[in-house]
């Protein structure tokens, strides 16, 4: 069953067409990577799926429902979580408070102003469990902006997962990381997304091949190929599209 | 849990003793402090906790003050507490009515929009003479006593009684806002300040949350305005809707400590104290407060409330340097 499906999704910014009828299919439980050269429209595809922009054409179907152009908060409540390419946490709040925002949302605690949040034992316990799961227990009371870059990115990814979404979309989770940090993050994502449906955009081919069950190649706003890592690796059109891209040729 | 209770009890005891220790003059000063502090804290909810700079908070203060004046003038026999609460609710309602426009904009646009609304209300109340009395304002109504029939009746023209009335309401209001910052919705509010986009993607309704905050902040600003009306027995556009009424609590927040909850209360106290000290030289008062304002922003950006911490840090650094020099020698 497809958790997420886009039908003829297209988008343009003031005349500049970025997506040309993308038909993406994400099956239940799979780890799906979207790759493509710079400017292929990967992040735009992410943004029109998660509600940042309303697509100028086509349809987004999530869990069998048409969710085209739905506001981000509504999509989040339907079970879609996402992380951002540029780290976007609550920097002046502690790691604990950051994750707690996700836990509160998961429990539907939103317009509640007659109880102290610190007195909600269930929320506190659940938040601490998540912190233990992502290995940030020691950093519980550290401000997000004071974390090392790798840990801050890990927090970013964990926040997308903190609402316990049915589908999690990660926008370049390892962007800007060192080799060690990348490795640790890959392990973290593997662990956290076990049994979950995940879609990610990623440039680092090592990360893609160690995380994805299926890969979709986006090229100038359209899908060039879609299939298992082995199929993509051997696809001649993909090789041609990436010709000269050192990073990619290196990965093969 | 024990320590805050002791602090609270101590603070309440001091507040209760003030009117009996000081004369009526200083008791009245404390009433003004209560009004200013409540007003400043309500604005601070927007500035320090939602990250929105408002230049028109006098709007809510004015609606509360005019509301109380109108109710007390035209509805004789209404209990004073009901009148004050209705006025505060009217201010909250104004916040609700304006929120569809206010939630749409951020940063400078928000500031300009609040400025526009504040000035609009100023002009409306100046021109709408039949209701508001225009430039003269409303005055001379008889304030009913604070009474529970058969139990007690307190004449609010007595300094001691108005003191307990104003300080009591201000404490309740400030306590309610303090509690609000500790609730789940308070967390959402702070998170909107830090990263509105992320709040949206986590499944919270940013727009509706902001609307509730505007109502909440407007309610307590209106409450401050209503108490002001009862205290002064006079409400005029110059006193409650003028742009300086919007800037006064802003100064208090910046002088006291932006980003803190209790800073604005301290700031209100300091500004009021300054006003009292420079009372004999009214032409100098504005200049002195201006200079102090500049000095605080430049050299103590955390406000007066951060002074202790700054002093401690400086002292520790000195001790550390001395030790380092000694070990070198």
CB atoms within 10 A of CB A44: 22
DSSP state at residue A225: E
Whether the CB-CB separation of A198 and A190 falls below 8 Å is answered with no
| pLDDT score of B264 | 96
- What structural domains and CATH numbers belong to chain A? 2-251 (3.40.50.300)
Are A120 and B184 a contacting pair at CB < 8 A?
yes
A56–B contact, CB cutoff 8 A: no
Q: Which positions ≥6 away from A46 have C-beta within 8 Å? A: A34, A52, A82, A169, A171, A201
Mean pLDDT by groups of 10 residues along chain B of 329 residues: 80 88 88 97 96 96 96 91 96 95 91 96 92 87 83 84 94 95 96 95 95 96 97 93 94 93 94 88 82 88 88 90 86
| Pairs from B81-85 (Cβ < 8 Å, separation ≥ 24) | B81/B146, B83/B144, B83/B226, B84/B169, B84/B223, B84/B226, B84/B227, B84/B230, B85/B223
**With bands split at pLDDT 50, 70 and 90, how would you rate the model's confidence at A243?**
low
| pLDDT score of A245 | 57
**DSSP bridge pairs for A201:** A34, A171
* Average pLDDT score over chain A: 90
A86–B contact, CB cutoff 8 A: no
| pLDDT score of A195 | 87
**A100 to chain B nearest CA, in Å?**
9
pLDDT digit string, tens, across residues A78-88 = 999 999 999 99
Classify each residue of B142-157 as buried b or exposed e, where b means 16 or more C-beta atoms within 10 Å of its C-beta: ebbebeeeeeeebebe
Are B194 and A91 a contacting pair at CB < 8 A?
yes
Across the interface, of B185, B197, B198, the residue whose CB is closest to A112 is B185
Q: What is the pTM of this model?
A: 0.91
Are B182 and A50 a contacting pair at CB < 8 A?
no
| pLDDT score of B51 | 94
Share of chain B above pLDDT 90, in %: 63
Token pair of B39 as six digits: 């007003």
Q: Can you tell me the distance from the alpha carbon of A55 to that of B170, in angstroms, rounded to the nearest whole number?
A: 50
Q: Can you tell me the distance from the alpha carbon of B124 to that of B146, in angstroms, rounded to the nearest whole number?
A: 32
Q: Would the CA dihedral through A57, A29, A183, A89 be positive or negative?
A: positive
Q: With beta carbons under 8 A apart, name residues in chain A contacting B190.
A: 90, 93
A251–B contact, CB cutoff 8 A: no
Best mutation target among B179, B193, B197, B198 (most A Cβ atoms within 10 Å) is B198
Are A111 and B212 a contacting pair at CB < 8 A?
yes
Across the interface, of A73, A102, A115, the residue whose CB is closest to B205 is A73
pLDDT digit string, tens, across residues A23-35 = 999 999 999 999 9
Interface ipTM > 0.85: yes
| pLDDT score of A251 | 54
| Distance from the Cα of residue A49 to its chain's centroid | 11
| Pairs from B270-279 (Cβ < 8 Å, separation ≥ 24) | B270/B304, B271/B36, B272/B29, B272/B32, B272/B33, B272/B36, B276/B29
Span A33-53, mean pLDDT?
A: 90
Q: Can you tell me the distance from the alpha carbon of A125 to that of B188, in angstroms, rounded to the nearest whole number?
A: 19
| pLDDT score of A15 | 83
User: Burial, B250: exposed, middle or buried (Cβ in 10 Å; 0-12, 13-18, 19+)?
Assistant: buried
**B186 to chain A nearest CA, in Å?**
7
Whether the CB-CB separation of A144 and A89 falls below 8 Å is answered with yes
| pLDDT score of A159 | 94
Q: Can you tell me the distance from the alpha carbon of B220 to that of B60, in angstroms, rounded to the nearest whole number?
A: 8
| pLDDT score of A250 | 54
């Amino acid at each position: 069953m497809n958790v997420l499906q886009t039908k003829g999704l297209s988008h343009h910014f003031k005349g500049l067409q970025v997506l040309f009828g993308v038909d993406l299919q994400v099956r239940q439980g799979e780890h799906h990577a979207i790759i493509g050269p710079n400017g292929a429209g990967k992040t735009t595809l992410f943004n029109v799926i998660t509600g940042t922009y309303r697509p100028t054409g086509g349809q987004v179907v999530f869990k069998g429902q048409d969710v085209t152009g739905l506001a981000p908060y509504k999509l989040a409540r339907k079970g879609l979580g996402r992380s951002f390419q540029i780290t976007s946490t609550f920097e002046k709040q502690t790691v604990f408070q950051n994750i707690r925002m996700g836990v509160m949302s998961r429990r539907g605690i939103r317009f509640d102003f007659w109880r102290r949040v610190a007195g909600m034992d269930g929320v506190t316990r659940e938040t601490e469990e998540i912190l233990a799961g992502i290995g940030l227990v020691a950093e519980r009371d550290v401000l997000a902006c004071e974390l090392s870059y790798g840990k801050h990115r890990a927090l970013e990814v964990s926040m997308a997962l903190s609402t316990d979404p049915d589908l999690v979309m990660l926008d370049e989770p390892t962007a800007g990381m060192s080799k060690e940090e990348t490795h640790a993050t890959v392990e973290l994502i593997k662990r956290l997304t076990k049994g979950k449906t995940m879609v990610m955009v990623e440039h680092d081919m090592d990360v893609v091949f160690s995380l994805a069950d299926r890969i979709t190649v986006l090229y100038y706003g359209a899908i060039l190929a879609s299939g298992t890592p082995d199929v993509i690796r051997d696809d001649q059109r993909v090789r041609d599209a990436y010709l000269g891209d050192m990073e990619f040729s290196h990965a093969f | 849990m024990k320590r805050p209770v002791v602090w609270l009890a101590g603070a309440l005891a001091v507040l209760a003793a003030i009117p009996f220790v000081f004369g009526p003059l200083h008791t009245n000063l404390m009433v003004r402090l209560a009004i200013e502090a409540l007003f400043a804290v309500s604005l601070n909810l927007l500035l320090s906790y939602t990250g929105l700079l408002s230049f028109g908070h006098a709007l809510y203060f004015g609606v509360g003050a005019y509301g109380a004046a109108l109710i007390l003038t035209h509805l004789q026999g209404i209990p004073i507490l009901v009148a004050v609460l209705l006025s505060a609710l009217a201010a909250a309602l104004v916040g609700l009515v304006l929120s569809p426009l206010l939630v749409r904009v951020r940063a400078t646009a928000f500031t300009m929009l609040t400025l526009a609304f504040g000035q609009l209300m100023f002009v409306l109340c100046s021109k709408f003479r039949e209701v508001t009395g225009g430039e003269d304002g409303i005055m001379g109504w008889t304030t009913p006593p604070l009474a529970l029939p058969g139990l007690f009746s307190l004449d609010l023209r007595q300094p001691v009684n108005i003191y307990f009335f104003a300080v009591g309401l201000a404490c309740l209001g400030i306590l309610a806002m303090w509690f609000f910052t500790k609730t789940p919705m308070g967390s959402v509010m702070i998170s909107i300040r830090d990263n509105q986009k992320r709040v949206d993607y986590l499944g919270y309704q940013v727009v509706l949350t902001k609307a509730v905050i505007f109502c909440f902040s407007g309610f307590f600003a209106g409450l401050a305005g209503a108490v002001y009306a009862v205290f002064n027995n006079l409400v005029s556009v110059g006193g409650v809707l003028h742009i300086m009424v919007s800037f006064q609590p802003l100064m208090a927040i910046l002088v006291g400590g932006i980003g803190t909850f209790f800073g604005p209360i301290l700031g209100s106290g300091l500004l009021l104290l300054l006003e009292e000290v420079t009372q004999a030289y009214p032409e100098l008062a504005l200049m002195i407060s201006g200079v102090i304002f500049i000095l605080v922003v430049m050299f103590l950006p955390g406000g007066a409330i951060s002074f202790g911490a700054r002093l401690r840090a400086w002292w520790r650094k000195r001790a550390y340097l001395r030790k380092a020099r000694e070990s070198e020698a």
